[in-house]
Amino acid sequence: PEVADQTMGVFGYGAIGSLVLDLAQGLDMDTIAYDPYVDEEAFAAGVEPVEAKHELFERADAVGVHAPLTDETRGAVGESELHALGEDGVLVNASRGPLVDTDALVEALREDVIHGAAVDVFDEEPAPEDHPLFELDNVLVTSHIAGSTEKSVPAKHRGAAENVRTVYE
């Protein structure tokens, strides 16, 4: 479907979550975010903060998970949130696998509770060959490679070398 006039939500409005919503605004999407650690005035123009996690999933057509893994965020996206996202909803987890309850996600995809998902992180990495997400047609699965581009890999190598030199000096 067309994404224009749909709502993109992010769970975690840090550097990546804010960039995702900036890109979504460029596609004419409405944008909302849930992050209890970000002051309301820190949200960019056009990004509506929501006060409750459940509200994010109820209102969004697609939700990107972009929060750090902590004791508080582990399993933060589960059955309740997926049901709130609804049968046309899409979940993208490009953060950390354990933020999303894998069993709940697999069940939601199998039962068409949500339309689809894109996942590039798993509870165990690399994911085992018999991971249940690999069997589903309504999920896009990749390895955690978002930060591995032609430009970023050499830049990371240079950064690591510079850090070693700094410590040595």
Q: Which positions ≥6 away from 99 have C-beta within 8 Å?
A: 11, 65, 67, 69, 73, 74, 75, 76, 77, 93
Among this protein's residues, is 144 annotated catalytic?
A: yes
C-alpha–C-alpha distance, residues 102 and 110, integer Å: 12
Annotated active-site residue in 124, 125, 135, 162: 125
Annotated active-site residue in 54, 59, 83, 144: 144
C-alpha–C-alpha distance, residues 99 and 12, integer Å: 11
Among this protein's residues, is 162 annotated catalytic?
A: no
C-alpha–C-alpha distance, residues 169 and 164, integer Å: 9
- Which alpha helices (H) appear in the chain, and where do they start and end? 15-26, 53-59, 79-85, 102-110, 152-168
Buried-state track 105-140, b at ≥16 Cβ within 10 A, e below 16: bbebbeeebbbbbebbbbeeeebeeebbbeeeeebe
Catalytic center residues: 96, 125, 144
